């Protein structure tokens, strides 16, 4: 049996600009980092979670959302019970990442505007 250790869990927050803006769509991806017996590490990703920044956005609010609604809400990595609760949490930001096409305003608006 292969030995596997949970290193950390968390969320990758993808922001489609260089700075936060009001009511901006952002994407959160839950993750779990696993170290295998041979020393290599793999990052398991969960499904994307769409969020929107508040009218007066700040980084602290986005971090709370990433931990509470993305990292803490997803536990379907098929790990032993309680493993995720004991793991340290890391929030990673990726700036200037385009939204997936299916989340872009043109795709959601049937008129394409």
CA angle at residue 21 from 18 to 27, to 5 degrees? 75
Q: How far is CA 106 from the centre of its chain?
A: 23
CA angle at residue 54 from 52 to 56, to 5 degrees? 145
Residue 31 lies in a domain: yes
What is the residue range of 85's domain? 4-108
Element (H, E) at 59: helix 59-65
Residue 113 lies in a domain: no
CB atoms within 10 A of CB 105: 10
Residue 46 lies in a domain: yes
Q: What share of the chain is helix, strand, coil (3-state, %, to 5)?
A: 20, 35, 45
Residue 17 lies in a domain: yes
Entry pTM: 0.83
pLDDT one-digit tens code per residue, 48-107: 999 999 999 899 999 999 999 999 888 888 887 788 888 999 999 999 999 888 766 555
Residue 98 lies in a domain: yes
């Amino acid at each position: 049996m292969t030995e596997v250790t949970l290193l950390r869990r968390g969320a990758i927050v993808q922001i489609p600009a260089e700075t936060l803006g009001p009511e901006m769509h952002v994407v959160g991806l839950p993750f779990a980092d696993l170290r295998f017996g041979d020393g290599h590490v793999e990052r398991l990703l969960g499904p994307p979670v769409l969020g929107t920044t508040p009218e007066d956005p700040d980084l602290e609010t986005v971090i709370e959302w990433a931990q509470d609604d993305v990292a803490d809400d997803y536990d379907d990595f098929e790990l032993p019970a309680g493993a995720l609760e004991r793991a340290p949490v890391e929030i990673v930001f990726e700036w200037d990442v385009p939204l997936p096409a299916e989340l872009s305003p043109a795709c959601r608006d049937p008129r394409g505007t």
